């Protein structure tokens, strides 16, 4: 079919075309098929408002969902072309930081697949998150342009005026079609500001932060380490929610709402606090259209639902009153009136406290549902972090454990495993993940276990080839691939992993060799102004160089930090993984979703009892996961008592001291920057806020055990089979169905 389309539209045979020609033609071919599907419709519609949609490349996933992937791949193959090569031309839209944005993208896929009328609403960033480049073993940031002349965005005629205090910006809506697997489509509605200009970007990702009309949608999360950066985020957020609110009301009226009954026509999911200003903005627009303030506030409360994705205090947004007053005084005024409506005895639940607006408090008071993203996380919200709100509104709180779309993370990323499962259980699991339970009957089938092992090796070879081209590193496919891929943050504890690597390196120097070659892979971006995170990247890159240059150590281990982690890299990395590192300090990782992707692809988790790891552990059982470290309760108590003392651990434990001391060893200082390495070392000894030293011993012991167990190849393959089978619960189809049944009611 594509062959014919190409010849007709291009006037030449496919076999003579360049990969770029084919890519651009495939894009229009696919887009026209998506148009034909039509859109999910209904009286009530969900608006999932999010500052991030980490959608990844779209060609393959669109072809998969249209059911055309296999046929197009075959057609291309028959004329000597490869769909994988063609796909590599597509630029990846990096419209997210990590899990929160990727979750939004998975939900879009599932909602369309389930036939729910559900649109995503966000911003059309010109560069998205920065592109990461390593220079002198350090992270640098570059703009990441992704919008080419030929792209997936549909420019619409929809425009809204967004009024700030001193000026008005005109928006423009761009739609991205999201087609369900074998179903109709929904849309991702991305707003841009007409006046934005890429020409103001200078020297990496620097630009004039005060020039709001030129810079508003240039980047995702501009560096907010200074006041102008913070103000810019307020402008961005208001622009996003004002466009969203205008769109929601216009569409609801079009579907027959008189606005008093808005809750019968629209539900808004507020994805973390970034879109929380949609609450006062909806109130403003409803009063502008003649509804009285108190009724408007009630309507909005019945329309909005809020998802919390973090308990880290520094990530819970609080905006200075004066920024809001400077940007949109009317919204500040409305927020104060809303605050008065909920003023009770407890000052700590107020929305406006002193000179700060607590965005999470605004979202909780004026939503009908508040959810956490994994069972443990929701319990911590209810009983610790948001306890006072839970006491006020016990019925609002609920849990929705995250999920991932199997279309991208299994069919797309791991075609061989998909084929094996299909041959064993039939096609059903592609739309009904529960069917993966049928895999359990093969637990003792040696043919199946050895097929799993063969597929893993094939995926390792694919990763090897990819990294050879991308970074010039050479991996060994007979090695154990131990992978930690996620945002760089101290609570996720990449530094703990690095300390283990140092220990292994020093053991090897002492003549204690591992049974098998070990490959430690990291992939992570650090926020541009996050000094400690950048120091950790520097440590890992220095270790990687040190090991590679050592003739003995390099025989037993390899350390790789992949540049510019993104969805496409994840799709290569995850299917090749043996051991999935999920080692956050217990109580700190709200859920994690990488943990689910790794298990679905047959990796075994090495992790703490944190976030969704707790549920993973419950499902797979203790023989099929490696758990270590202090519990969430122990950690929370330790914070409360203020008794954590890393220096005492450092003094007492020789293994810890040896690893920590090595960070500033002369061998390291020869490669790295002494200021950065010593700063990190001193932080670990004197502060170690996320308690890496506390869990070091248990982590080392447990990791050694996992490496030893890997040598019983059949037993290991059985663990991978159990993980794949039990991953069924973590399908985002299940999560989205729960949201719909209990919150959205579409
Ligand atoms: C954001 C920031 C930004 C500034 C620097 C510090 C900092 C720390 C944390 C965050 C987190 C923002 C929210 C977020 O991405 N949460 C993630 O949401 C995922 C989907 O629910 C979940 O799986 C992850 O556990 C959670 O970290």
**Is the domain of 561 the same as that of 659?**
yes
- Asked whether the beta carbons of 528 and 223 are under 8 A apart, the reply is yes
User: Is the pLDDT reported for residue 506 higher than 90?
Assistant: yes
| 46 vs 746: CA distance, rounded Å | 7
In terms of Cβ atoms closer than 10 Å to its own Cβ (0-12, 13-18, 19+), residue 622 is exposed
- Token pair, residue 519, equals 């490959």
pLDDT score for 333: 98
Q: Are residues 241 and 382 in the same domain?
A: yes
For 128, the token pair is: 């998205």
Q: Which amino acid residue places its CA nearest to atom 9 of ligand 1? A: 315
Q: How confident is the model at residue 387 (pLDDT cuts 50, 70, 90)?
A: very high
Helices (H), 114-220: 212-215
d(CA 55, CA 108) in angstroms, rounded, equals 9
Please report the pLDDT score of residue 507 as a whole number. 98
Average pLDDT over residues 398-407: 98
Beginning with the edge strand found earlier in the chain, give each strand of the sheet holding 356-358 in spatial order: 318-320, 356-358, 352-353
**H/E stretch holding 398:** strand 397-399
The CA 613 to ligand 1 mean position distance, Å, reads 16
Residue 135 and residue 230 in one domain: yes
CA torsion angle 221 227 228 230 (round to 10): 30
Long-range contacts of 139-142 (CB under 8 A, 24+ apart): 139/525, 139/526, 139/534, 139/537, 140/204, 141/204, 141/205, 141/528, 142/204, 142/205
205 inside domain: yes
Residue identified by tokens 């002369």 is: 666
Q: Note whether 383 and 502 are same-domain residues.
A: no
Distance of CA 332 to the CA centre of its chain: 31
Closest C-alpha to ligand 1, atom 2 = 315
Q: Which residue among 50, 96, 98 is best mutated to probe the pocket of ligand 1, counting the most ligand atoms within 8 A of its Cβ?
A: 98
- CA atoms within 13 Å, Cβ hemisphere of 149: 4
The DSSP element (H or E) to which 193 belongs, if any, is strand 185-193
Q: What is the per-residue burial (b if ≥16 Cβ within 10 Å, else e) of 550-573?
A: beebeebbbbbbbbbbbbbbbbbb
**CB distance 315 to 589 below 8 Å:** no
Q: What integer is the mean pLDDT of 193-218?
A: 92
Ligand 1 pocket test: pick from 591, 611, 739 the residue with the most ligand atoms within 8 Å of its Cβ: 591
Active site residue 209: no
Give the integer Cα–Cα distance in Å for 741 and 304: 16
Residue 466 has pLDDT above 80, yes or no: yes
Residue 527 in any domain: the answer is: yes
Give the span between the Cα atoms of 537 and 557, in whole angstroms: 19
Which residue puts its alpha carbon closest to atom 7 of ligand 1? 315
Report the pLDDT averaged over residues 459-472. 96
- Predicted local distance difference test score (pLDDT) of residue 711: 98
pLDDT at 223 over 90: no
Tokens of 660: 């920590």
Of 189, 487, 504, 588, which residue is the catalytic one? Answer: 487
pLDDT score of 222 more than 80: no
- Residue 539's H or E segment, with its range, is helix 531-548
Residues 241 and 149 in one domain: yes
Q: Tell me, what DSSP letter sits at residue 628? A: -
User: Of how many residues is the chain composed?
Assistant: 746
**In percent, how much of the chain has pLDDT > 70?**
100
Could you tell me the residue range of the domain that residue 568 belongs to?
A: 477-730
Confidence at 501, pLDDT banded by 50, 70, 90:
very high
Whole-Å CA distances, 201 to 143, 206, 215, 219, 603: 8, 6, 9, 10, 41
Identify which of 96, 100, 381 to mutate to test ligand 1's pocket (most ligand atoms within 8 A of the CB).
100
Q: Which helix (H) or strand (E) is 41 found in, with range?
A: none
The closest alpha carbon to 490, from 625, 569, 584, 618, belongs to 584
Average pLDDT rounded to a whole number, residues 522-542: 97
Tokens describing residue 590: 């709200």
Give residues (CB < 6 A) around ligand 1.
98-100, 103, 272, 309-310, 312, 314-315, 373, 402, 489, 527, 589-593, 611
Whether residue 97 has pLDDT greater than 80: yes
Asked if residue 104 belongs to a domain, the reply is: yes
Query: Is there a domain that residue 24 lies in?
Result: no
Average pLDDT on 301-313 reads 95
Q: 255: which 2 tokens?
A: 């579907």
* Catalytic residue (choose from 102, 400, 456, 492): 492
pLDDT (0 to 100) of residue 121: 98
For residue 670, indicate whether it is catalytic.
no
Among residues 373, 402, 431, the one where a domain terminates is: 402
Residue 248 lies in a domain: yes
Same domain (yes/no): 488, 390: no
By most ligand atoms within 8 Å of CB, the mutation choice from 54, 229, 310, 608 for ligand 1 is 310
Q: What is the DSSP string of 150-164?
A: S-S-EE-S---EEE-
3-state secondary structure of 530: coil
CB atoms near residue 32 (< 10 Å): 10
Q: Could you write out the DSSP letters of every residue in 91-120? A: PP----SSHHHHHHHHHHHHHHHTT--EEE
Cα-to-centroid distance, 309 and ligand 1 (Å): 6
Q: What is the pLDDT of residue 356?
A: 98
Mean of pLDDT over the chain? 97
Give CA–CA dist 15/429, Å, rounded: 36
Q: Which helix (H) or strand (E) holds 741?
A: none
d(C-alpha 113, C-alpha 493), whole Å: 36
Q: Are residues 377 and 490 in the same domain?
A: no
492 catalytic per annotation: yes
Q: Which of 57, 201, 34, 185 is nearest to 117 (CA)?
A: 185
Residue 111 included in any domain: yes
Task: Please check whether residues 175 and 296 belong to one and the same domain.
Answer: yes
Angstrom distance (rounded) from CA 28 to CA 67? 16
Q: Calculate the CA 277 to chain-centre distance.
A: 22
- N-terminal to C-terminal alpha carbon distance within the chain: 36
Q: Alpha-carbon torsion 459, 465, 471, 472, what sign?
A: positive
**Whole-number Å distance between alpha carbons of 286 and 297:** 9
Task: Decide if 626 contacts 131 (C-beta within 8 A).
Answer: no
Least confident of 203-207, 265-269, 353-357: 203-207
Query: Any idea of the CA torsion for 225, 226, 228, 233, to the nearest 10 degrees?
Result: 20
Cα 98 to averaged position of ligand 1 atoms, centre (Å): 7
How is residue 410 written in tokens?
Answer: 């299994």
Point out the least confidently predicted range of 4-8, 201-205, 676-680. 201-205
Alpha helices in 255-353 (DSSP H): 278-288, 293-303, 321-327, 329-342
pLDDT value at position 499?
98
pLDDT tens-digit readout, 16-57: 999 999 999 999 999 999 999 999 999 999 999 999 999 999
Q: Of 396, 405, 316, nearest to 357 (Cα)? A: 316
Domain count, the chain: 2
Residue 487: active-site member: yes
| Residue 22 counted as domain residue | no
Q: H or E element: which one contains 723?
A: helix 713-726
Say if 746 falls within a structural domain: no
- Rounded to the nearest angstrom, the gap between the alpha carbon of residue 497 and the centroid of all alpha carbons in its chain is 21
> Residues 309, 407, 534, 572: which is the catalytic one?
309
Q: Is 309 a catalytic residue?
A: yes
DSSP annotation of 558? E
The closest of 380, 465, 424 to 637, measured between CA atoms, is 380
Residue found under tokens 């914070």: 639
- Give residue-wise pLDDT tens across range 358-371: 999 999 999 999 99
* Cα–Cα dist 286/260, whole Å: 9
pLDDT of residue 95: 97
- Cα diameter, the chain: 80
- Quote the pLDDT of residue 345: 72
Both 574 and 681 in one domain: the answer is yes
- In this prediction, residue 661 carries a pLDDT of 98
Atom of ligand 1 nearest to the CA of 98: 15
Mean pLDDT, range 187-197, rounded to an integer: 96
Cα-Cα-Cα-Cα dihedral sign, residues 552, 555, 557, 561: positive
Distance (Å, rounded) from C-alpha 103 to C-alpha 64? 19
Distance 100 CA to ligand 1 centre (A): 6
Q: Where do we find the tokens 């790891």?
A: 613
The rounded distance, in Å, linking the Cα atoms of 241 and 281 is: 7
pTM, to two decimals: 0.98
What number is the average pLDDT over the span 198-208?
A: 91
Overall average pLDDT of the 599-615 stretch: 98
Long-range contacts of 353-358 (CB under 8 A, 24+ apart): 355/320, 355/321, 355/322, 356/318, 356/319, 356/320, 356/321, 357/318, 357/319, 357/320, 357/321, 357/324, 357/332, 358/316, 358/318
For 49, 440, 535, 575, 737, the CA distances from 731, given in Å and listed in that order, are 21, 17, 35, 17, 10
CA 380, CA 250: separation in Å to the nearest integer? Answer: 39
Give the integer Cα–Cα distance in Å for 594 and 527.
Answer: 19
Rounded CA-CA distance 46/187 in Å is: 11
Give the pLDDT mean for 634-648: 98
- Closest by CA to 696, choosing from 662, 646, 661, is 646
Output the CA 53–ligand 1 centroid distance in Å.
13
CA distance 170 to 599: 45
Which CATH number goes with the domain that contains 382?
A: 3.40.50.2000
Same domain, residue pair 388 and 487: no
Strand 154-155 relative to strand 318-320, pairing = unpaired
Distance from the alpha carbon of residue 310 to the mean position of ligand 1, in angstroms: 6
């Amino acid at each position: 079919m594509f062959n014919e389309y190409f010849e007709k539209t291009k006037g030449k045979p496919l076999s003579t075309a360049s990969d770029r020609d084919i890519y651009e033609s495939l894009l229009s071919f696919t887009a026209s098929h998506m148009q034909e599907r039509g859109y999910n419709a209904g009286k009530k519609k969900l608006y999932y408002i999010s500052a991030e949609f980490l959608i990844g490349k779209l060609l393959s996933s669109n072809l998969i969902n249209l059911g055309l992937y296999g046929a197009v791949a075959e057609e291309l193959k028959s004329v000597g072309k490869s769909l994988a090569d063609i796909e590599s031309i597509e630029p990846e839209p990096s419209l997210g930081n990590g899990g929160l944005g990727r979750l939004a993208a998975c939900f879009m896929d599932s909602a369309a697949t389930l036939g729910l009328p559900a649109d995503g609403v966000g911003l059309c960033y010109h560069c998205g998150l920065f592109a990461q480049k390593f220079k002198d073993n350090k992270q640098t940031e570059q703009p990441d342009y992704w919008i080419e002349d030929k792209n997936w965005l549909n420019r619409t005629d929809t425009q809204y005026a967004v009024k700030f205090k001193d000026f008005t910006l005109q928006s423009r809506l761009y739609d991205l079609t999201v087609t369900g697997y074998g179903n109709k489509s929904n849309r991702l509605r991305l707003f841009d500001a007409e006046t934005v200009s890429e020409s103001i970007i200078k020297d990496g990702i620097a630009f004039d932060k005060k020039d709001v009309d030129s810079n508003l949608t240039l980047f995702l999360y501009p560096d907010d380490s200074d006041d102008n950066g913070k103000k810019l985020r307020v402008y961005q957020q208001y622009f996003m929610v004002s466009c969203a609110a205008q769109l929601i009301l216009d569409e609801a009226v079009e579907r027959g709402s008189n606005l008093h009954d808005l809750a019968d026509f629209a539900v808004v999911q507020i994805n973390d606090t970034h879109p929380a200003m949609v609450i006062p903005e909806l109130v403003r627009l409803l009063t502008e259209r003649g509804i009285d303030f108190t009724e408007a506030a009630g309507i909005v409360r019945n329309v909005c639902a809020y998802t919390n994705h973090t308990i880290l205090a520094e990530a819970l947004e609080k905006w200075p009153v004066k920024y809001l007053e400077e940007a949109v005084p009317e919204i500040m005024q409305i927020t104060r009136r809303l605050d008065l409506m909920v003023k009770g005895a407890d000052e700590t639940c107020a929305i406006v406290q002193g000179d700060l607006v607590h965005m999470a408090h605004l979202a909780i008071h004026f939503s009908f549902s508040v959810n956490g993203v994994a069972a443990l996380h929701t319990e911590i919200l209810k009983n610790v972090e948001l306890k006072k709100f839970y006491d006020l509104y016990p019925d609002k709180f609920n849990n929705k454990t995250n999920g991932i779309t199997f279309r991208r993370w299994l069919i797309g990323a791991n075609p061989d495993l998909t084929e094996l499962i299909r041959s064993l259980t039939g096609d059903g699991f592609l739309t009904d993940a529960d069917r993966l339970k049928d895999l359990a009957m093969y637990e003792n089938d040696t043919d199946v276990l050895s097929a799993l092992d063969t597929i893993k090796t094939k995926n390792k070879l694919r990763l090897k080839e990819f990294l050879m081209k991308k970074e010039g590193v050479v991996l060994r496919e007979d090695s154990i691939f131990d992978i930690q891929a996620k945002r760089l943050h101290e609570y996720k504890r990449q530094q703990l992993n690095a300390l283990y690597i140092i220990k292994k390196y020093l053991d090897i120097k002492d003549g204690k060799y591992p049974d098998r070659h070990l490959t430690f892979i990291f992939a992570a971006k650090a926020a541009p102004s996050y000094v400690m995170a950048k120091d950790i990247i520097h440590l890992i890159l220095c270790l990687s160089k040190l090991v590679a240059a050592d003739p003995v150590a390099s025989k037993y281990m390899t350390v790789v930090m992949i540049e510019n982690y993104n969805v496409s890299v994840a799709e290569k990395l995850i299917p090749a993984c043996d051991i999935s590192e999920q080692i956050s300090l217990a109580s700190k990782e709200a859920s994690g979703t990488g943990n689910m992707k790794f298990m679905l692809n047959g990796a075994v988790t090495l992790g703490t009892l944190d976030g969704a790891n707790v549920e993973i552990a419950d499902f797979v059982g203790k023989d099929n996961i490696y758990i270590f470290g202090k519990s969430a309760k122990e950690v929370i108590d330790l914070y409360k008592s203020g008794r954590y003392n890393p220096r005492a651990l450092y003094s007492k434990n020789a293994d810890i001291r040896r690893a920590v001391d090595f960070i500033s060893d002369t061998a390291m200082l020869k490669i790295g920057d002494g200021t950065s390495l010593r700063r990190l070392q001193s932080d670990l000894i004197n502060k170690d806020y996320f308690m890496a030293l506390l869990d070091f011993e248990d982590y080392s012991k447990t990791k050694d055990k996992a490496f030893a167990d890997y040598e019983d190849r059949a037993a290991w393959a059985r663990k991978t089979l159990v993980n794949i089978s039990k991953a069924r619960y973590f399908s985002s189809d299940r999560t989205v169905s729960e949201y719909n049944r209990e919150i959205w009611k579409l």
